[in-house]
Amino acid sequence: MPRRRPGRPRRDDQRPTHDLVLAAATALFAERGFDAVSVRDVAAAAGVDVATVAHHTGTKAQLYDACFARVFSAEREVLEAAGQRAAEALTAGPGQALRALHELVDVFVDFLEDRPETTALWLRRWLEPQRHAELDRRYSAPLYAQVERLLAAAAGAGALVEPAPHVTVRSLVWAVHGHVVALAARSGSAARERREFRAFVHRLLDGLYPPATP
């Protein structure tokens, strides 16, 4: 059995090294932000050496980008599947459109509740809006645009009235991120917080898109 090199941390996690490094880096960047995390910190958290981190991810900036690419990939997979299910329903009339929007938002809420590090990572980035702005263009704008197109298509079909889909999507995204932060800081029941937020966001959609009067 080969001996570990001197100074190399012991790895107990059996995930592929690349995944292990990205998971550790995502957690650290989410907790501290870009400037307060070093490649050495990531290596220590992942249980590998600094050279291994550099080999798998390149520079610190490239590592930071890879963390956003990682969470974007998972989010895109979930939302694209939900968006495909919603696309037909959103143009099938007001009742079906509203149910489809409820389901689409529920999928997004479930995703972020299960992965609070995604919210923390983005909030750290948004504390400096002009810095690393290219991350938004690559890893959030495409998902926003996908939902905006769904809303525009539903409005075009007469299923709902939506004059500013980009504002609606952005506002809903921020509301869900705020909910995830509240969950992390909660002093009461997480189940109650989840239930009450889900009811709120459904009421919000119902208020935005009330049934048309005859």
Residues 133 and 104 in one domain: yes
* Count of C-beta atoms within a 10 Å radius of residue 53: 27
Residue 214 located in a structural domain: no
Query: Global pTM?
Result: 0.86
Once rounded to an integer, what is the mean pLDDT over residues 70-96?
A: 88
62, HSE (Cβ side, Cα atoms, 13 Å): 7
* Separation CA 103–CA 150 (nearest Å): 13
26's tokens: 């995502």
Q: Is residue 95 in a domain?
A: yes
Q: How confident is the model at residue 96 (pLDDT cuts 50, 70, 90)?
A: confident
Check whether residue 181 and residue 88 sit in a common domain: yes
- Number of separate domains in the chain: 2
Taking Cα atoms as reference points, which of 170, 178, 180, 168 lies closest to residue 204? 168
- The one-character DSSP state at 173 is H
Instruction: Kindly state whether residues 35 and 80 are assigned to the same domain.
Output: no
53 and 77 fall within a common domain: no
User: Mean pLDDT lowest for which of 39-53, 54-68, 89-103, 169-183?
Assistant: 89-103
Q: Which pLDDT score, from 0 to 100, does residue 3 have? A: 42
Q: Which of 22-36, 86-100, 165-179 has the lowest mean pLDDT?
A: 86-100
pLDDT digits (tens, 9 = 90+) for 184-200: 887 778 999 999 999 99
Q: Which domain holds residue 53?
A: 1-58
**Do residues 22 and 76 both lie within one domain?**
no
Last residue of a domain, one of 37, 58, 79: 58
Confidence of residue 4 (pLDDT cuts 50, 70, 90): very low
pLDDT tens digit string along 58-79?
999 999 999 999 999 999 999 9
Q: Is residue 63 part of a domain?
A: no
Q: What is the CATH number of the domain that holds 52?
A: 1.10.10.60
Task: Verify that 25 and 130 share a domain, yes or no.
Answer: no
Asked if 91 and 165 sit in the same domain, the reply is yes
C-alpha distances out from residue 183 to 98, 114, 160, 187, Å: 26, 11, 32, 9
Q: Which residues contact 28 (CB under 8 A, 6 or more apart)?
A: 37, 41, 42, 45
What CATH number has the domain bearing residue 178? 1.10.357
Question: Per-residue confidence at 14, pLDDT binned at 50, 70, 90?
Answer: low
